[in-house]
Structure 1
Amino acid sequence: MIEHQPLPYRPMSRHRRSEGKKGGTRRAENNKIYAHPLPLTFSQTYVTLGLSRHTVLNPCCEGYWDPLTRSVWVTNPKDSATLWQRGFFGKGNISRSEPSWLSRQVNIRKAELSGKVTSEEITAKRREQRKRFKMDRANAIVTAAAEAEEAFRIGKTVTNPIMIPSGATWKPADEAPEKGPSAIPQNHNKQDEGRDGELDDIVDVEHLQLTPQEAFFLIWCFDCLSVLNPQTAEGMPLQEIWLAFQTCYMDPGPSLQLRPDNPFIVNYVAYHHYRSLGWTVKSGVKFCVDYLLYKRGPVFDHAEFALVICPVYEDPADSDSSTLCFRSTQNISWSWLSTVNRVNSQVMKMLILCYVTIPSSVLVSPEMLGSPKCLAYYSVREVTVRRFIPARMRD
């Protein structure tokens, strides 16, 4: 069975303690929008004699299984908003996390009509200026080195050395005029603004992508997601979904056989373990780890823990006979571990090694792997890794 162990206590920094005390309209709005930690909600109805009864409200979302991307596509905007706002499940396919492509396009269209500058344009301008600054600095360094070498060759002193530009003093040679109220055409009247201001023609082309672990957690634990077959558009039963999520990580062939070290099962064991303890689990590929653990969600605060899944074979013979491309504890080097720990220490995240014990293939047969009942034979243990700094930890 999956063992539940509490994460180690980590005292928050002074900056993060004071951050929780700050109020504001934005935080109050987020508390209202993301008030439900899970897709299921409860309604309270009053009956006679002052008694109340609670009923479970199931959103019943739908998604299509895509084996090429190993994800479930939720194309209905209402279902996408429900799954994101109630537990932060999935991510937008053309967004960083929250599926906000449509709202960004609406803001861009409104900014174009009003003559204002959007945040995307400001970011693009800063990146272009940074690129030009680096090119000007490199050219100045090369020119100054060539001039100094020429002066040394002829035995003279450089009287007017070339100044190397710095980030504090450098300015672009040709500044483009910024957008403002004067950028609006003179013939832009209210009639044109009403005609150009129609935003209904913007088609939302974004969908929510759920990983197999997220999708199966919603299906098996809450029964609030229906996965449809992309060919027949019909609902897939639970056993078919379980097998489809396993086979997408395996090479197709006549010798296709389920194994207890399937990457989907190992990752789902860790995902289910922390989700059942109340953590919000998101992908950690940005920080070279498997998962990130949030107390409430990415909207409220940063992740406190970075998780690396380390599968451990109960029977060493299973590791030798495995044909799956899955990272094991034998392939993790100390240099790689030190690098990952350094990366996450710089962003105020504690590294957690999550050891998932894989049961022996003798104990768990391929027939047993065809059902989620095999999850009872897996266990989870945690090891905290801290970066040792001798100059700072002498006391």
Structure 2
Amino acid sequence: MAGGRHRNTTGPHKGGARRAENSRIYAHPLPIIFHNPFPNGVRSLLGLLGLSLNEVVNPHCEGYLDVATKSVWITDPRSSKVLWKKGFFGKGDLSRSEPSWLARQINDRKAGRTGLTSEQLREKRRAERKQFKLDRAQAIAATAAEAEAIFETEGRIIVPALSGPDIPSGATWKPPPAFEASRSVVELPLQMGQEDDDYIEDIEHLQLTLCEAFFLAWNLDCLTIIDPHADEPLTLEQLWTTFQHINLAPPIPNSPPLRLQLDNPFLVHYAAYHHYRSLGWVVKNGLKFCVDYLLYKRGPVFTHAEFAVVVCPVYEDPADQENSTVNLQNASAFAWSWLGTVNRVNSQVMKTLILSYVTIPSRSRVSSDIMTSPACFSKYSVREVVVRRFIPARMRD
């Protein structure tokens, strides 16, 4: 996931080659590709006649359902690459976003032969800053003790200095030799005839949320989800009921099976996810910024997220909320302090906060038979409220 956005002050041509390369790699917003094998002249003629002979290229991917983490695991590297590069679906379980653990390991192994890797340099700088603070604190304490001793023996009052030749500063401090020796890195040589890439096993997998997995399986039909216990693919009907039961409390032994409800957390969050995905946004998890979703125009590799979304369930019939066995997050009125905190966090990272109100249809209006299929999503509605932080010094006009 991306951090706060920084203003570009280096001109429009900064990083142009990198942007062009990203535009080539991530040219397709979804795994489904419409390809026309005919030359431009034939395509223009067919367009004038109102005809289209596009071929639909739909890659097939497989994943395993993991109930414990409420996610779907894509273990095939090819499928992981397809889903990430064509829509930015999922997250690497050993990476911040893109599943790049293997590439990082290979690069770090190569960098280790000539110097420190990026992670080692970061840890080295952190250790140096910590040691600098300790040395500075000890020097200040020694100066204060010397001033106290002069006052006791000579009666003179000396104000302890916070700077000077005896107090280390960021410009004059250097790590002591003992510190450098303790932080040295020893690189183990490779065996004869063994290459870096040969013995590094890719142990990372792509992790899809339930909303992402259902969107790929139901709307795009490019993902097959396998039950890890039976090792058999789950049908759409089984996915529909399983994903809802995963988000409910575990059933009590010898109790009747839990019935499907309109206020199931999976249904509420998927309604918001499907709403923004259908409008062309790249939707990613927003837990880092205390929200449910982050909205990207094209994807994390191009720009930072512009909008942060908090899903707020709203019951069409208040009686349904009183009789519900599900405790939906943000369904009740939240405190102004909470709203101010979330808004301030996202304002600091240049994101606009959006409260996405998902209206849950009334049980009296909707038949229980509609809960057996995704057709019930037609009864949900989504409306947004933009929250902006008021800054008097900047908004006088």
The verdict on a shared fold, with TM-score over 0.5 as the criterion, is yes
Deviations 1:345-395 (A, max 9, x none): 111101111111111122334442231011011000111111011122222
Aligned to 1:342: 344
Aligned match for 1:317, one of 316, 319, 337:
319
Q: Unpaired segments of 5 or more residues in structure 2?
A: 47-51
TM-score (norm 1): 0.85
Aligned to 1:81: 81
TM-score (norm 2): 0.85
Find the aligned partners of 2:287 and 2:6 in 1 and give their Cα distance: 28
Asked if 2 retains the 8 angstrom alpha-carbon contact of 1:115 and 1:179, the reply is no
Moved more, 36-45 or 298-307: 36-45
Aligned to 1:267: 269
Deviations 1:254-295 (A, max 9, x none): 352221111111110110001000000001101111100000
Find the aligned partners of 2:109 and 2:173 in 1 and give their Cα distance: 33
Find the aligned partners of 1:69 and 1:296 in 2 and give their Cα distance: 28
Aligned to 2:127: 128
Aligned to 1:15: 7
Aligned to 1:65: 65
Deviations 1:52-104 (A, max 9, x none): 72110111100000110000000000000000000000000111000000001
Aligned to 1:176: 180
Q: Please report how far the alpha carbon of residue 152 of structure 1 lies from its aligned counterpart in structure 2 after TM superposition.
A: 6.8
Alignment pair present for 1:197 and 2:195: yes
- Over 3 Å counting, the alpha-carbon distance change for 1:146 and 1:266 in structure 2 is farther
Asked if 2 retains the 8 angstrom alpha-carbon contact of 1:140 and 1:162, the reply is no
Equivalent position SS for 2:302 = coil
Aligned to 2:212: 214
Asked if 2 retains the 8 angstrom alpha-carbon contact of 1:40 and 1:56, the reply is yes
Aligned to 1:236: 234
Aligned length: 374
Aligned match for 1:226, one of 221, 224, 227:
224
What's the Cα RMSD here? 3.0
Aligned to 1:304: 306
Asked if 1 retains the 8 angstrom alpha-carbon contact of 2:147 and 2:159, the reply is no
Task: Supply the AA of the counterpart residue of 1:288.
Answer: C
Equivalent position SS for 2:36 = strand
Asked if 2 retains the 8 angstrom alpha-carbon contact of 1:354 and 1:382, the reply is yes
Find the aligned partners of 1:203 and 1:184 in 2 and give their Cα distance: 20
Q: Please report how far the alpha carbon of residue 311 of structure 1 lies from its aligned counterpart in structure 2 after TM superposition.
A: 0.8
Equivalent position SS for 1:306 = strand
Asked if 2 retains the 8 angstrom alpha-carbon contact of 1:350 and 1:386, the reply is yes
Asked if 2 retains the 8 angstrom alpha-carbon contact of 1:116 and 1:179, the reply is no
Task: Supply the AA of the counterpart residue of 1:119.
Answer: S
Find the aligned partners of 2:146 and 2:281 in 1 and give their Cα distance: 61
- Over 3 Å counting, the alpha-carbon distance change for 1:321 and 1:57 in structure 2 is same
Aligned match for 2:334, one of 313, 332, 335:
332
Find the aligned partners of 2:78 and 2:145 in 1 and give their Cα distance: 63
Q: Unpaired segments of 5 or more residues in structure 1?
A: 1-12
Asked if 1 retains the 8 angstrom alpha-carbon contact of 2:110 and 2:196, the reply is no
Q: Please report how far the alpha carbon of residue 197 of structure 1 lies from its aligned counterpart in structure 2 after TM superposition.
A: 2.9
Aligned to 1:56: 56
Find the aligned partners of 1:359 and 1:315 in 2 and give their Cα distance: 8
Find the aligned partners of 1:17 and 1:243 in 2 and give their Cα distance: 51
Find the aligned partners of 2:361 and 2:93 in 1 and give their Cα distance: 35
Q: Percent same amino acid at aligned positions?
A: 56
Aligned to 2:26: 34
- Over 3 Å counting, the alpha-carbon distance change for 1:384 and 1:21 in structure 2 is farther
Equivalent position SS for 2:180 = coil
- Over 3 Å counting, the alpha-carbon distance change for 1:37 and 1:172 in structure 2 is same
Q: Please report how far the alpha carbon of residue 18 of structure 1 lies from its aligned counterpart in structure 2 after TM superposition.
A: 6.8
Q: Please report how far the alpha carbon of residue 317 of structure 1 lies from its aligned counterpart in structure 2 after TM superposition.
A: 1.2
Moved more, 373-382 or 252-261: 252-261
Deviations 1:315-357 (A, max 9, x none): 1112122232321242421101101111111111011111111
Q: Please report how far the alpha carbon of residue 231 of structure 1 lies from its aligned counterpart in structure 2 after TM superposition.
A: 0.8
Alignment pair present for 1:115 and 2:114: yes
